[in-house]
Amino acid sequence: MRVLIVEDHRELAETVATGLRRDGMDVDLAFDGEQALERAGASDYDVIVLDRDLPRLHGDEVCRELTRNGGDARVLMLTAAASIADRVDGLGLGADDYLPKPFAFAELRARVQALARRSQPAVPPVLTHGDISLIPAQGIARRAGRRLDLTPKEMAVLELLLAAQGAVVSAEELLERAWDQAADPFTNTVKVTVSRLRRKLGEPSVIETVPHAGYRI
């Protein structure tokens, strides 16, 4: 899951990002409205957590621009104003959900997860291929009944490959969907992660490398 947090309060933004990353999400940060649009234009996000009171470009304008540009990202708007009128205004701008400050992290996390489910095509609760099974919501992967000890990145790559149902997934798409913006596109991080995943899945090998195209199961 790819999330963009747009919040000019850097300490709050970093705290929320740390919490979401612990839950296996890939999180990027933007600290003003212009930077938010730049980030959103360069990457595909499942959810954008958008503070309404931003410097350089107000959150209302950011939300309007995101709505005009289309895209699949869902917007969770944050604001210190908690009146019903403010909430109605925020939703009227094109936001998908609205959370007043201060908020409990557990609620923000639950709302982000719910919005992410709406931003993507429905995925079966259990992904399978042969004797491999994956329950994305629980982060549990098994092969032949044996539970696999996978890192969050390995779990994300396995989910993307299983969800593709035999279609080839490029290394670029894996990097885009399973890593955050800090990932260096010129490293071999995808290749290394796929190699480790292959080893953990065991024999017979199920991940096929398609030359000049990507990977598939």
- Give pLDDT tens digits for 69-126: 877 889 999 987 656 666 666 567 788 898 888 899 999 999 998 888 776 655 568 8
Beta partners for 214? 210
b/e for 132-157, b at 16 or more Cβ within 10 A?
bbbebeeeebebeeeebebeebbbbb
Average pLDDT over residues 163-192: 82
Mean pLDDT of 133-159: 92
The rounded distance, in Å, linking the Cα atoms of 139 and 23 is 10
Average pLDDT over the chain reads 87
Element of type H or E holding 127:
strand 127-129
Tell me if 2 sits within 8 A of 44, measured CB to CB.
yes
- Predicted structure pTM score: 0.62
